[in-house]
Amino acid sequence: MESVEPIRDKRVLEDMCDYLKSTNERNLVMFELGIYGGLRISDILKLRVKDVRNKKYIKITEEKTGKDKPIPINPILRKTLNSYITDKKDLDYLIKSRKGKNSPIGRTQAYRIIRELGEMYGIEDLGTHSMRKTFGYHYYKKTKDIALLQKIFNHSSPNITLRYIGIEQDVIMKAMNDMRYF
């Protein structure tokens, strides 16, 4: 499996959201669910309108772990969701495919959307998991609370979480770049 990276630059992240807002609201919702909710793409794609309408939390059972998890809806995400779901039915999938009656896009299509976005902004190693990693990366940079982030991600150790969000790689790159003999 190919390793993907978080989106580290906040300006690029903001530009990506602005671009999606102006071009495809469904894709913006998918992206914001990942970067503000820290959700895996498998959990995003199974969400329906009723899971977010008039709710403070998204209640999910994580597909990977089988654990129940409440995800608070960030105010920025809330604004996007409220605008997006206004004319949608409760049973509609949030990230609805244009093919078929009422089904979500597939993981492959979600991957293509994110890869294309990465190419537009010159970011290599971007995939659907980059959204979740972006959440973790910026949460850690802001709070330095690795213990809570470890709990949010259900990781077994802080080292796994640091490696997962790309902090370990940042430290290695900095150490190598700062190396001087003379």
Residue 70 covered by a domain: yes
Total of domains in the chain: 1
Could you tell me if 8 and 141 are in contact, meaning their C-beta atoms sit under 8 angstroms apart? no
Structural domain of residue 60, as residue ranges?
Answer: 10-131
Q: What is the pLDDT of residues 120-154, one digit of tens each?
A: 999 989 999 999 999 999 999 999 999 999 999 99
- Cβ neighbour number for residue 168 with a 10 Å cutoff: 14
57 bridge partner residues: 72
In a domain, 158, yes or no: no
DSSP line for 6-29: ----HHHHHHHHHHHHHH-HHHHH
Q: Where are the beta strands (DSSP E) in 27-92?
A: 57-61, 68-72
Instruction: List, by residue number, the catalytic residues.
Output: 40, 64, 129, 132, 155, 164
pLDDT tens digits for range 98-115: 987 899 999 999 999 999
Among 61, 32, 45, which residue's Cα sits nearest to residue 109? 45
Q: What is the CATH number of the domain that holds 70?
A: 1.10.443.10
Residue 2: what pLDDT? 65
Cα separations (Å) of 99 from 58, 86, 152?
26, 21, 34
Does residue 80 form part of some domain? yes
Q: Residue 5 domain-assigned? A: no
Query: For position 1, what pLDDT does the model report?
Result: 46
Closest to 61 in 3D by CA, of 156, 154, 160, 146: 154
Global pTM reads 0.92
pLDDT digits (tens, 9 = 90+) for 49-73: 999 999 999 999 988 888 899 999 9
On whether residue 166 sits in a domain, the answer given is no
Give 22-50 pLDDT, tens digit per residue.
999 999 999 999 999 999 999 999 999 99
pLDDT value at residue 99 = 86
